[in-house]
Amino acid sequence: MPRYELALILKAMQRPEVAATLKRTIEALMERGAVVRNLENLGERSLPYKISKHDQNHRRGGYFLVDFDGPPAIISTMMDHLGRDVDVIRPTFLKHPVSKTEECSGIIPVNYEDKLYTKKK
């Protein structure tokens, strides 16, 4: 099962309400057969731009990150579900970024002259 990341932006609420919303979301994920690995809180900050959702203009939001493994079919159903949730401002599903520290061999100088002349077919 591929590994996904859910970048979740919730409405700026009090702590118990935030907890309730997160619980709902993760239970919905688990119902559909996902295995949640990790839940990170990136803090409550002011949004980079005004987002209007569910007839409300939001300027502040709580940022959360949910790491999970799940079947690819749940993505579309989860997007529907989160779209209907009033407390969720912006849900985004991403493939989990594989943190690869490849051996960057540096800038290899390209010989532009060769590129120019050997293009004859």
Which positions touch other proteins (CB under 8 A)?
A: 7, 9, 42, 47-49, 51, 61, 63, 65, 89-90, 92, 94, 97, 99-101, 103-109
Residue 65: CB atoms within 10 Å: 14
Residue 48 Cβ vs other proteins, minimum distance, rounded to whole Å: 4
Whose Cβ is closer to other proteins: residue 77's or residue 92's?
A: 92
Find the Cα–Cα–Cα–Cα dihedral 101, 37, 62, 8, rounded to 10°: 80
Query: Closest separation between CB of residue 92 and other proteins, Å?
Result: 5
Q: How far is the CB of 15 from other proteins (least distance, A)?
A: 21
At closest approach, how far in Å is the CB of 19 from other proteins?
21
Residue 66: phi and psi, rounded to 5, are: -110, 120
In angstroms, the CA 19 to CA 12 distance is 12
User: What is the Cα–Cα distance from 64 to 22, expressed in whole angstroms?
Assistant: 9
Cβ closest to other proteins, residue 50 vs residue 84? 50
Residue among 98 and 120 whose Cβ is closer to other proteins: 98
14 vs 105, which CB is nearer to other proteins? 105
